[in-house]
Amino acid sequence: MSLNVAGVVKLLQVFDMPTSLRFYRDLLGFQLIQQSQPGDDCGWAWLRLNDAELMLNTAYESENRPSTPDPARVSAHEDTVLFFGCPDVDGAYSSLQALGVSASAPTTAPYGMRQISFRDPDGYGICLQWKAL
């Protein structure tokens, strides 16, 4: 028997849900599909942008959340990069720049993908890429 899967959803633990929702929903354009409770200060949220899906979960219950992120935890996020297909990498770069998102200038990787990279508020990497023409 083989598995029949129909997609994958990434789950990221975030320090501050309202900040993460503003980034993914308000800046990048993801739609909120479902959440653990109403409002931006929820513990869990499921987001979608076209065919890309992402879930965010708070790393701490509100009563246990420290006042600032743990630097060791944020540092560990550097190993996580979400690669999203993006047919117009150069256009996305211009749009992100206009929104104040600090992204790398578009480059073509040695393996033939046109890419830009940036980080979310928790230090997770995001790469928008598409096969170079």
Q: Does domain 76-133 have CATH number 3.10.180.10?
A: yes
Total-model pTM: 0.91
CB atoms within 10 A of CB 123: 17
Q: What is the pLDDT of residue 63?
A: 85
CA–CA distance, 116 with 45 (Å, rounded to integer): 26
Q: Is 11 exposed, middle or buried (0-12, 13-18, 19+ CB in 10 A)?
A: exposed
Q: What is the pLDDT of residue 22?
A: 97
At 92, list the tokens.
């996305």
Q: In this model, does residue 105 exceed pLDDT 90?
A: yes
At 43, list the tokens.
């513990």
CATH topology match: 7-60 vs 76-133: yes
Q: What is the pLDDT of residue 85?
A: 96
Q: Of 110, 113, 115, which Cα lies nearest the Cα of 126?
A: 115
Q: What is the pLDDT of residue 114?
A: 98
Q: What is the pLDDT of residues 12-61, one digit of tens each?
A: 999 999 999 999 999 999 999 999 999 999 999 999 999 999 999 999 98
Q: What is the pLDDT of residues 54-92, one digit of tens each?
A: 999 999 988 888 999 988 888 888 899 999 999 999 999
Fold of 7-60: 2,3-Dihydroxybiphenyl 1,2-Dioxygenase; domain 1 (3.10.180)
Q: Do 15 and 59 meet the contact criterion of CB atoms below 8 Å apart?
A: yes
Q: Is 64 exposed, middle or buried (0-12, 13-18, 19+ CB in 10 A)?
A: exposed
The domain spans of the chain are: 7-60, 76-133
